[in-house]
Amino acid sequence: MSFSHKLEKLFKQSLPAPFTIAVILTFITFSLALLITNSDNQSSNFINILTYWEKGIWNPDLLVFAMQMMLMLVLGHTLALTKPIHYLITKATLQCTNTPKAAAIVTFFTIIVSLFNWGLGLIFGAIFARKVGEHFSKEGKIINYPLIGAAGYSGLMVWHGGISGSAPIKIAEAGHFLENKIGVISQGETIFSLMNISVSLCLIIILPILMYWIGKINPGKIIKLKLKDESRTLKIEGAEHLDHSKILAYLFGGMIISISIYNFIFQSNYMSFSFLTPNYINLLLLGLTIIMHKSFYNFLNAVDKAISGASGILIQFPIYFGIMGIMNHSGMVDIMSEIFVSISNKTTLPVFTFISGAIVNIFVPSGGGQWAVQGPIIVEAAIKLGVEIPKNIMALAYGDQLTNMLQPFWALPLLGITKLKAREIIPYTLVIMCAGIIIFVSALMIF
């Protein structure tokens, strides 16, 4: 635990808020662009780079991407707050009779849910971990609560390889910002490729077993958690009945689901999974959340709770887009891709991409923001070395999700719900990270 405490202290002392990091990276990128861009008139060069930055910020395609990622997080979080999900968690909690079993069950279901939607998986895992803790506290049984909290966070280890992963889902959509270089690549070539299916199966099997083993050797202690009182009475008057109407919610939600089903049946190629675009997933999530909340009132209350988690995407993504604008227009993308090419070959490039993705994620703790910054570089390098584009993109995705187990930024909602501290879960998330390194690197070398 002393190591995890030192690690947490190191992060606090070394890394400011993610927005501040984004601004610092902007200054660094700006300075590098000034150095590498040849110009007799430095004043004119300065203005040109500022213009590149501004164009990047207001790139309409990237702003649409930011909105799509915000909706994916908020709607996933909102779905996790529905009564059907709460019912499933309650039922699953009853199967958690001891620490090893609880750790394995929470890890397994959190991974499964996170492969569908990362926002849903993040909050699902947090609520599940909390409910397990409350259950053991009420029963007076010993439990390794930090281990259960780490199990609830395990979904962030797999999310970028799931159907809501930022990079794979964006390149599956017509009009994405790299379409002129790589075209549209469906999830059939990325998420549902043999390599990623193999990786996902390994994670689904190995991580719960690993957490079960840790629970066996360190079962924990008796804890005391205050049970949450969520009961409340409402006085509904006049037109407010419409806000609470199940009929309206079912009609509107049903209409949205009907459109989603129609698009799936008549507007898509099932085998290529071309229908799985950000817009399709968000539309489906919107319909499901409204129906499962049973009223607009419940739905909007849940959205209010969920929306704060999207503030980072709202304000940080445009800063990353500005960085990408400088890199694209100043020639930095070509220079950095040349560096990758010079130290790599067709076999090792995906591994170097994986390592770079893992490192960059520590400073840019957002898959979408990271894709905006690194995407052009890794695509250019892959083209020059003749590496399969989908494989190199998945290498970036694996690196990004790997160091979520080290960088506690996305753990903040879980820590708030479980009342755990980062240093308590880090020893266990680091074990998960080590297992991930073996799985990801092995897959990149084999396939």
Q: How far apart are CA 126 and CA 111, in angstroms?
A: 12
pLDDT, tens only, 93-136: 999 999 999 999 999 999 999 998 888 898 899 999 999 999 99
Q: Residues 359, 365, 371, 376: what is their CA dihedral angle, to the nearest 10 degrees?
A: -50
pLDDT higher than threshold 70 for residue 43: no
Consecutive H or E run containing 25: helix 18-36
Which of the residue ranges 1-15, 139-153, 217-231, 233-247 has the most confident prediction, judged by mean pLDDT? 139-153
Sign of the Cα torsion 298, 299, 303, 304 reads negative
Q: Which residue has the higher pLDDT, 410 or 253?
A: 253
Q: How far apart are CA 390 and CA 186, in angstroms?
A: 9
pLDDT, tens only, 173-210: 888 888 999 999 988 899 999 999 999 999 999 999 99
What is the rounded average pLDDT for all residues in the chain?
87
Instruction: Supply the pLDDT for residue 348.
Output: 92
Q: Which of 148-152, 249-253, 266-270, 278-282 has the lowest average pLDDT?
A: 266-270
Sign of the Cα torsion 198, 75, 72, 322 reads negative
Q: How far apart are CA 282 and CA 65, in angstroms?
A: 12
Residue carrying the six token digits 């990786």: 199
Is residue 348 within 8 A of residue 390, CB to CB? The reply is no
Is residue 124 within 8 A of residue 85, CB to CB? The reply is yes
Q: How far apart are CA 76 and CA 289, in angstroms?
A: 8
Percentage of residues in the chain with pLDDT exceeding 70? 92
Q: How far apart are CA 390 and CA 122, in angstroms?
A: 26
Q: Which residue has the higher pLDDT, 32 or 410?
A: 32
pLDDT, tens only, 209-227: 999 999 999 888 888 887 6
pLDDT band at 379 (very low <50, low <70, confident <90, very high): very high
pLDDT, tens only, 265-304: 776 666 667 777 888 889 999 999 999 999 999 999 999 9
| The two three-digit tokens of residue 30, written as one number | 């700006």
